[in-house]
Amino acid sequence: SQPAGWLARVIGGGKTKSGVSVSEFTALHLPVVFACVNRISNPIAGIPVGIFRKGDKGEAIPVTDHPMSQTIGLRPNPFMSSRTLRKTVQGHALLWGNGQIEIERNGRGQGVNLWPLLPDGTRPRKKGDRLVYDTTISGQNYELPQEDVLHVMDLSHDGYVGLSQIALARQAIGMGLAMEEFGAKFFANDAKSGGFLMHPGRLSTNAQSNLAGRRDRNGQGKE
């Protein structure tokens, strides 16, 4: 089982003080969040990758006899290009604090495909002196050993679970989303702000009804 507060450290969901719900999904609706994730993920996704071994003098020697030596930089699984996979997982790491990739292996233990794991459905867990990854794939629960998972992790308190930047900045993001919503409604109302009616005494029930009826006839006072 996970320690108390694990969800708060990893998932940034829930309402903020501005009244807007913020999660890793809704945070992308704020242009500055989307732009930052895109700006960091794109260059990383474009870096050439390959499989290498260290030579006698410490030099990097390309490996050509590995099952993924030709595909890792082009199509690491049948459905994704290398660029798509890396941009996706880097985005997960920037939003959730954890980007995870499953290594699919053949009978010889060699990696043959790389698959991104859902960041909101995958979590590391200590099991004895090792880590395992609890994940959900196509609606089924799996426990993956540590050696079959590549984990791109952001800042962490414990070294194996990254902190969600969205969770840490959710109040500021909520304020930004609330301001966008307020601005949209303001301009949709022909840039007319609401007003106040002041009366020295207390309006009678009949006077309140007359005032409400007049406002409705003028098409005001409604969202």
The reported pTM is: 0.76
What is the DSSP code string of 82-94?
A: HHHHHHHHHHHHH
Tokens of 131: 């880590």
Each residue's pLDDT tens digit, 26-72 = 999 999 999 999 999 999 999 999 999 999 999 999 999 999 999 99
Each residue's pLDDT tens digit, 164-209 = 999 999 899 999 989 887 787 777 776 666 666 677 777 788 877 8
**Alpha-carbon distance 119 to 7, whole Å?**
12
